[in-house]
Homo-oligomer: A and B are copies of this chain.
C-alpha cells in the first residue's frame, strides 16, 4: 500500500514540476524531459538490490543443495547393511569435501572460463574478486558455491550405487576426476555455453547435466566393480539385502526433497525482479507437485502389482519425480508437472526389478532414479518449452551419456588396474567398517557382520 502511494506522489511531483517548468517558458525540451522523467519513475529494484537478491538466491539455493549431501549420506546409510554404514558416511563426507576442493582448483574454470561454443574452458583455481569491487549480476563466490554443490551432487549419486564393495581410496580417486574434470566438461557443453548450448539443448537445472551424468558414472562403476557377494545367486535368484535403517533412508529423502527447492529454484539464477521471483515460486510449486506425483504413482503401482507398498520404492518415487521435473521446472503447468513426476515414479517401479534381471547391483536405486528419470525429464522438455526440440534433446542425452560412459569407464578401469576397485571377498563379508574404517556404525547392536 505504502509504496504505491509513494510512487504515485513521485509521478505527481515530476508532472507538476515539469508542468511548472513548461508553463514558465514554452521550451520544447521541457516536454521531452517530462516524458523521460515519467518513464524513469520506476518500481524496479535498484541495480545493487538486484545484485544482492541474486547473490542471496545463490547462497540460499546453495545451502539447500549443500544439505542434499547430508540427504544422500542418510539415504545411503539407511540403505546399506549395518556393517558398511560407517564407510558410507565416510565416503559421503569425503566426496563432498573433494568436490569442493576439485571444483575450486580445476572444475569451475574448466566449465565456465571461456568455453565459448567449444568443449571446455581454461582450467585453474577460481579467482574471487575483492567484495569491495565485485560487480556484475551477482557475487562470483556465490555462483561458485551454487555450482559447486551441483558438482558434489553428481558424486553423491555414484556413491550409493557402488556401496558395500568398493574400496574407500579407489572411490575417492574417482571422485577427484569426476568432480574436477568429467562433470565440468559436459557441464561446459551446456551451462558453460559450449557446443550443445549453441545447438539449443535445454536442461534447466540438470536432469541430464547432473543426474544422468551421476547415473551414467554410477552404472559404469556398477558394471565394472560387479555385484555384491550374495546379491545374485547362481541359480538366478535375486536376494534382497535389506537396508539397515528405514527411518534414516526416509530422512535422507526428505532432506533431498527440501534441498531440491534450492536445486531447481536457484537455477532461475536471479530473484531481483517480479518475473524472476514469480518464476522461482512457480518452480517451487512444480517441483513439489512432481515429487508428490512420483510418490503417489510409485505407491499406487506397488499396491496394485505387489499388494504391499515398499517404502524404498515410495522414497525413490519422490526422488524420481524430482529428477524428472529438473530439466524444466518452470514452463509446465501444475497438472503437467504432476504427470511428469508420476511417470518418473512409475519408471522406478518397473526399472528396479529390471536392473536386478540384468544383475546390475545398484544398492540405493540411483540408476532408475537419476539416470532413467533424468533421461525422461530431459526428453519431455519440448512438450512445455517451445524453445526446445526433441531431436536436440536426444543429441544432448546421447552425447553426454556416451562421453560419461567412456570417460568414466576408462577412469574406473585405470583405478582398477593400479590400486584395485574392490575389497576382498573376506573383507566384504566382514564389512567395510571393520576393514577400512575401524569404527562400527552401531557397535552395541549390530549383528550385520554375520549376514551375507
The interface residues of chain B lying within 8 Å CB-to-CB of A3 are: 42, 44-47, 50, 272-273
A180 at the interface (CB under 8 A from B): no
- Do A440 and B246 contact each other (CB < 8 Å), given the known contacts A3-B47, A45-B45, A97-B295? yes
A398 at the interface (CB under 8 A from B): no
Contact of A36 among B13, B62, B245 (CB under 8 A): B13
Q: How far is the CA of A93 from the CA of B253 in the complex (A)?
A: 9
Q: Do B281 and A251 have beta carbons less than 8 Å apart?
A: no
The interface residues of chain B lying within 8 Å CB-to-CB of A14 are: 37
Please name the residue on chain B nearest to A12 by beta carbon.
B36
A201 at the interface (CB under 8 A from B): no
The interface residues of chain B lying within 8 Å CB-to-CB of A77 are: 247, 250
A280 at the interface (CB under 8 A from B): yes
A109-136 to B contact mask, C-beta < 8 Å, 1/0: 0000000000000000110110110110
- Do A46 and B45 contact each other (CB < 8 Å), given the known contacts A93-B295, A247-B248, A443-B244? yes
Q: Do A49 and B47 have beta carbons less than 8 Å apart?
A: no
The interface residues of chain B lying within 8 Å CB-to-CB of A323 are: none
Q: Do A52 and B62 have beta carbons less than 8 Å apart?
A: no
Closest Cβ of chain B to A360, distance in Å, is: 21
Q: Do B60 and A251 have beta carbons less than 8 Å apart?
A: no
Q: Do B24 and A254 have beta carbons less than 8 Å apart?
A: no
Within 8 A of B (CB), among A216-264: 242-251, 253-255, 257-258, 261
Q: Do B13 and A40 have beta carbons less than 8 Å apart?
A: yes
Q: How far is the CA of A300 from the CA of B38 in the complex (A)?
A: 64
Stretch in A84-92, A157-165, A186-194 touching the partner: A84-92
The interface residues of chain B lying within 8 Å CB-to-CB of A66 are: 257-258, 261, 288
Q: Do A441 and B285 have beta carbons less than 8 Å apart?
A: no
Q: Do B278 and A129 have beta carbons less than 8 Å apart?
A: yes
Q: How far is the CA of A246 from the CA of B51 in the complex (A)?
A: 41
A451 at the interface (CB under 8 A from B): yes
A21-45 to B contact mask, C-beta < 8 Å, 1/0: 1011101011011001101101111
A343 at the interface (CB under 8 A from B): no
Report how many copies the assembly holds: 3
A144 at the interface (CB under 8 A from B): yes
A372 at the interface (CB under 8 A from B): no
Q: Do A261 and B308 have beta carbons less than 8 Å apart?
A: no
Q: How far is the CA of A132 from the CA of B70 in the complex (A)?
A: 35
Q: How far is the CA of A107 from the CA of B159 in the complex (A)?
A: 40
Q: How far is the CA of A228 from the CA of B64 in the complex (A)?
A: 39
Please name the residue on chain B nearest to A13 by beta carbon.
B36
Q: Do B274 and A134 have beta carbons less than 8 Å apart?
A: yes
The interface residues of chain B lying within 8 Å CB-to-CB of A285 are: 104, 128, 141, 144-145
The interface residues of chain B lying within 8 Å CB-to-CB of A145 are: 281, 284-285, 288
Within 8 A of B (CB), among A327-386: 330, 333-335, 338
Q: Do B440 and A242 have beta carbons less than 8 Å apart?
A: yes
Closest Cβ of chain B to A141, distance in Å, is: 4
- Do A293 and B101 contact each other (CB < 8 Å), given the known contacts A125-B335, A311-B90? yes
The interface residues of chain B lying within 8 Å CB-to-CB of A439 are: 242, 246, 310-312
Closest Cβ of chain B to A240, distance in Å, is: 9
Q: How far is the CA of A296 from the CA of B101 in the complex (A)?
A: 10
A55 at the interface (CB under 8 A from B): yes
- Do A48 and B44 contact each other (CB < 8 Å), given the known contacts A17-B37, A37-B17? yes
Q: Do A45 and B37 have beta carbons less than 8 Å apart?
A: no
Closest Cβ of chain B to A41, distance in Å, is: 8
A81 at the interface (CB under 8 A from B): yes
Q: Do A62 and B13 have beta carbons less than 8 Å apart?
A: no
Cβ contacts A to B, 15 pairs, < 8 Å:
A2-B273, A13-B36, A17-B17, A17-B36, A44-B48, A44-B49, A48-B274, A70-B251, A86-B311, A100-B292, A128-B282, A140-B281, A142-B278, A148-B288, A309-B436
Closest 5 CB pairs of A and B: A70-B254, A13-B36, A139-B281, A131-B278, A142-B281
Given contacts A51-B274, A141-B281, A247-B441, could you give 5 more A-B pairs where the C-beta distance is less than 8 Å?
A17-B18, A52-B272, A66-B258, A139-B278, A246-B440
